[in-house]
């Protein structure tokens, strides 16, 4: 009798019981894993929004050092002085004020950011390899690793964020920075305080979010399910689905938005006035993962 009780206590799972346990585990995994994946994606979007808040703080610091102006609203003389401080007295141009590859290099911006790592979104793994190069080899404490034959600058492949060239800290509703997974219209010449100018390398880094075309296919966050191979390569971010993106306004408000929120922000931007320039500028400069032949980028 005692031996029978011991054998009963030592008996393991039967095959049926084991299959039931495996089935239950499989069902639970099927329920929980998608939820965990969504939670991870949401957490990455929140971290991306935190990066945008820090970018806002960096440009606020720059603005306080330059009479309330952002780089693209500097006067011509201020622009020349800024770039000569980086590249030496032989540098005479101010055109890099409209180029995403240069706009994170001024000292007040670099110092407030602390690390260029914040310019690479956790939603955007394609940029991670390139931001590592910036951190390891950047000329200015981890900023500025790429070289165009004349100037050291940020590698556009390391950047996850676009900068809106119509933003002004005295126009709180204007858009300041956005996740790079956006499409828009062809950029146009605008009369900046430093003079009339297209965004530098407009074919690759310049675009416009025109209010007149609000709601069109040309104004949207491109998702990771994009069917066009060209749009997928040049615009999409791996960790952002359709109608998903982030942006920060000049007042510091940071939004996890969809296409409808983007449209509302474009309309709000278009009604802003005051500050240091006249009119409404709807241009922006954005990085891309597009493979750009070096000889296509003018250097001067």
Instruction: Please give the pLDDT value at position 156.
Output: 95
Task: Quickly state the pLDDT bin for 13 (edges 50, 70, 90).
Answer: low
Residue 236 φ/ψ, nearest 5 degrees: -70, 155
How far is the C-alpha of 173 from the C-alpha of 264, rounded, in Å?
11
Q: In this predicted model, what pLDDT tens digit does every residue of 204-227 receive, in sequence order? A: 999 999 997 655 556 899 999 999
CA atoms within 13 Å, Cβ hemisphere of 40:
9
**Residue bearing tokens 């997928």:** 232
Top-confidence residue, 94 or 45? 45
Q: Would the pTM of this model clear 0.85, i.e. be above it? A: yes
DSSP assigned state of 194: T
Q: Across residues 258-285, what is the average pLDDT? A: 94
Mean pLDDT of 22-26: 73
Confidence band of 112 (pLDDT split at 50, 70, 90): very high
pLDDT of residue 201: 84
* DSSP summary character for residue 80: H
- Residue 74, H or E segment: none
Is the pLDDT score of 45 beyond 80?
yes
| The pLDDT of residue 81 is above 70 | yes
Confidence label for 14 from pLDDT (cuts 50, 70 and 90) = confident
| Residue 34 confidence (pLDDT) | 67
Provide, rounded to the nearest whole percent, the portion of the chain with pLDDT above 70: 88
For residue 1, pLDDT beyond 60: no
Alpha-carbon distances of 43 from 34, 36, 126, 224, rounded to whole Å: 14, 10, 18, 17
**pLDDT recorded at residue 300:** 47
Instruction: State both tokens at 68.
Output: 């309330």
Tokens found for residue 173: 């509703």
User: Which DSSP string do the residues of 105-143 spell out, in sequence order?
Assistant: -SHHHHHHH--GGGGS-TT-GGGHHHHHHHHHH-TBTTB
144: left (phi over 0), alpha (psi -120 to 50) or beta: left
Query: What average pLDDT score do residues 253-272 get?
Result: 94
* Torsion angle of the four alpha carbons 150, 156, 162, 168, in this order, in degrees rounded to the nearest 10: -20
Instruction: Please state the rounded mean pLDDT for residues 153-172.
Output: 97
Question: Confidence class of residue 266 from pLDDT cuts 50, 70 and 90?
Answer: very high
Q: What is the mean pLDDT of the chain?
A: 89
Tell me which of 15-24, 79-88, 165-174, 185-194 is least confident. 15-24
Question: What is the arithmetic mean of pLDDT over 30-56?
Answer: 86
| Of the listed ranges 138-152, 209-223, 275-289, the one predicted with least confidence | 209-223
Q: Residue 300 and residue 297: Cα distance in Å, rounded?
A: 10
Rg (CA), the chain: 25
Confidence of residue 19 (pLDDT cuts 50, 70, 90): confident
Q: How many CA atoms lie within 13 A of 138 on its CB side?
A: 23
* 216 contact partners, CB below 8 Å, separation of at least 6: none
The Cα-based distances of 134 to 50, 53, 84, 213, 265 in angstroms read 20, 21, 22, 37, 32
Given a cut of 90, whether residue 8 has pLDDT beyond it is no
Rounded CA separation 88/13 (Å): 77
> Among 56, 45, 150, 28, which Cα is nearest to 101's?
150
Query: In the predicted model, is pLDDT for residue 18 greater than 70?
Result: no
Buried b (16+ CB within 10 A) or exposed e, 217-234: ebbbbbbeebeeeeebeb
253 pLDDT band (50/70/90 cuts)? very high
Binned at pLDDT 50, 70 and 90, residue 40 comes out as: confident
In this predicted structure, what is the pLDDT of residue 28? 66
Taking alpha carbons only, the member of 248, 264, 261, 285 closest to residue 48 is 248
Q: What is the pLDDT of residues 59-71, one digit of tens each?
A: 999 999 999 999 9
Nearest to 159 by CA among 198, 116, 199: 116
């Amino acid at each position: 009798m005692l031996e029978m009780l011991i054998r009963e206590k030592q008996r393991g799972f039967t095959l049926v019981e084991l299959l039931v346990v495996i089935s239950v585990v499989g069902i639970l995994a099927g329920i929980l894993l998608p939820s965990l994946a969504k939670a991870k994606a949401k957490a990455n979007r929140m971290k991306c929004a935190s990066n945008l808040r820090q970018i806002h703080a960096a440009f606020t610091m720059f603005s306080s050092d330059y009479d309330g102006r952002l780089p693209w609203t500097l006067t011509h003389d201020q622009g020349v002085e800024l770039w000569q401080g980086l590249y030496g007295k032989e540098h005479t141009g101010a055109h890099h004020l409209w180029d995403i590859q240069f706009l994170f290099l001024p000292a007040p911006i670099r110092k407030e950011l602390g690390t260029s790592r914040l310019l690479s979104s956790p939603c955007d793994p394609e940029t991670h390899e390139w931001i590592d190069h910036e951190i390891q080899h950047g000329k200015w404490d981890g900023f500025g690793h790429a070289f165009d034959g004349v100037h050291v600058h940020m590698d556009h492949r390391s950047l996850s964020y676009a900068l809106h060239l119509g933003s002004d800290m005295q126009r709180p509703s204007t858009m300041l920075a956005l996740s790079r997974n956006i499409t828009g219209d062809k950029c146009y010449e605008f009369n900046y305080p430093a003079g009339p100018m297209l965004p530098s390398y407009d074919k690759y880094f310049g675009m416009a979010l025109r209010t007149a075309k609000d709601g069109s296919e040309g104004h949207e966050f491109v998702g990771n399910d994009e069917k066009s191979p060209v749009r997928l390569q040049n615009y999409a971010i791996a960790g952002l689905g359709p109608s998903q993106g982030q942006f920060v306004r000049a007042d510091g408000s940071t939004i996890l938005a969809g296409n409808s929120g983007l449209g509302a922000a474009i309309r709000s931007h278009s009604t802003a006035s005051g500050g240091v320039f006249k009119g409404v500028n709807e241009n922006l400069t954005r990085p891309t993962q597009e493979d750009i032949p070096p000889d296509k980028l003018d250097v001067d």
